[in-house]
Every structure is written in C-alpha cells, then in structure tokens.
Amino acid sequence: MRATSPTARRRRLGAELRRFREAAGLTSYEAAERLGWASNSKISRIENGRISVTWSDVAAMLDLYGAGPGETRDRLITLARRSKEKSWWQPYSDLLDKEYATVIDLETAASGLRIFQALAIPGLLQTPDYARTIITRSGPLDLDESEVERRVELRVQRQTILAQEGGFDLWAILDEAALRRMIGDPTVMREQLLHLNHEARRPHVTVQVVPYAVGPHASLAGSIGIYSFSEPSDRDVAFVETLAGHLIL
C-alpha cells in the first residue's frame, strides 16, 4: 500500500463531495448560497482539494446534499479531520514553497510518476553529490552549508519510495543532454551514471533516453511530470518545472 498525505486526502474528499453535490442536482454556486458561505469559490476549492475543510463544513455539505448518517458520511468526516495532519516532510517545511510541498505530498501518495527531464537527472534518481552540486550552483538562492545539506537530505528521503513495498512506478524519459551535461566533476558524473544504471534495474523503474538524433519532439518546451494514483477517484496530476518553481495543473 502507498502512503497517503494531507493533499491526497483533500483531493479524495473533494472528489466525493463533488459527486454528492452533482447527485443532489446543485451547482457549486447554489450550494455555497444555501450554505450561507460568502465566497462562491469555496465549494470549487474544496472539491479540487486546494484548501482544507473542517469536519463541521463537511457535515453541513452532506446535510445539504441529503447524505444521512452512515459509513460513508463517517468516512468523509474522518478524511476531513485527517487532511490537517502533518506530512513526513514537515521538518523541512521552512525550505519549501507551497508548490514544491504539494508536489512532495502528491508524490508520497501517488502510485506512479511519468516524467520527462531535459537537462538534468530527476531528483528521485540523483546521488547526494549530484544533488548537492545542483542545489548549490543552479538555484537563485544563496544558501549556507546547513541549508544545502538539509535540501540534499530531503531529496534523498524522497527517494525511499522507490524501495518501498507497493511498487511506486517511475517512468523517466531523459533527453541525451541530461546524461552529457557535466554536473560537478567527472567523479560526480561517473557515480551518478552508475547510480542511474543501478536504479533503472529496479522492477518498477523505467529509464529511457531521447537521443540528439531524434531532433524536435513534443517536450522541447521543458520538463513535465504526471502523478498517477491507485484510487479510481483520484485523478492524475500534471506539473511543469519552471525557474519560478512547480506549476501544478
């Protein structure tokens, strides 16, 4: 079983609340109006998992939608309560912007990731020395040594999902440039390529390379990723990596 996370719980709760609302024949505007909520967008933000919701608000929504006492109601109220629990990465929260924290939360609960990386090895497949070089030299921030080491530690901790039971499926497609670009010195690159070769032999990891000879292709614009989830109600989440951070779609 994959671990869960507050973000995943909010998304699951939101999807189920949306189904109840639609079954009741209400628009999100009508539901917010009947609940007496000043913000008409609150319903859609809850349903999209973008904000936490109190168990009392969930109970009020279910009352409006005609969902009486029972196992489903209890489960959704429990989901609302658990959506406020802290994630494993909370000790590193001072290092993370909101989007990166959401990406890690989604990664924690996802059953798989499909990613294209143009210029560097994906974080889940980086060695500590390779990650340290990128964190130190490629970011816009001037970090002290302790901050760099904590960021490296966080990246290494994220990689433990590849060894967990339950089979997190990673499908990484790299541009040839990611293998040829010298990150650090030759020793760092040699260890990184050996590590990549080792990780690619895991049963749930696939690594492919788009060679220069292919020429133009659909992902020339940059790096993209798609998280998938085992629960049928959990929709895929796509993200785009930019210089300004992660754009979650």
DSSP state of 205: E
Second-level CATH architecture of 6-82: Orthogonal Bundle (1.10)
State the Cα–Cα distance between residues 105 and 10, nearest whole angstrom.
11
By the 10 Å C-beta count (0-12 exposed, 13-18 middle, 19+ buried), 187 is classed as: exposed
Among 48, 119, 100, which Cα is nearest to 247's?
100
State the Cα–Cα distance between residues 211 and 114, nearest whole angstrom.
18
User: What pLDDT is recorded for position 1?
Assistant: 41
Overall pTM > 0.85: no
Dig out the tokens for 46 from the structure. 């809850």
State the Cα–Cα distance between residues 152 and 135, nearest whole angstrom.
8
In the chain, list all ranges with CATH 1.10.260.40.
6-82
Q: What is the pLDDT along the chain (249 residues), one digit of tens a residue?
A: 455 678 888 888 998 999 999 999 999 999 999 999 988 789 998 998 888 888 899 999 999 999 878 888 898 988 888 877 788 888 998 888 888 888 898 898 899 999 999 899 999 999 999 999 999 987 666 788 999 999 999 999 999 999 887 779 999 999 999 999 999 999 999 999 999 999 999 999 999 999 999 998 888 777 899 999 988 778 899 998 876 677 888
DSSP state of 87: P
Strands 224-228 and 237-242: antiparallel
User: What pLDDT is recorded for position 141?
Assistant: 66
User: What pLDDT is recorded for position 134?
Assistant: 92
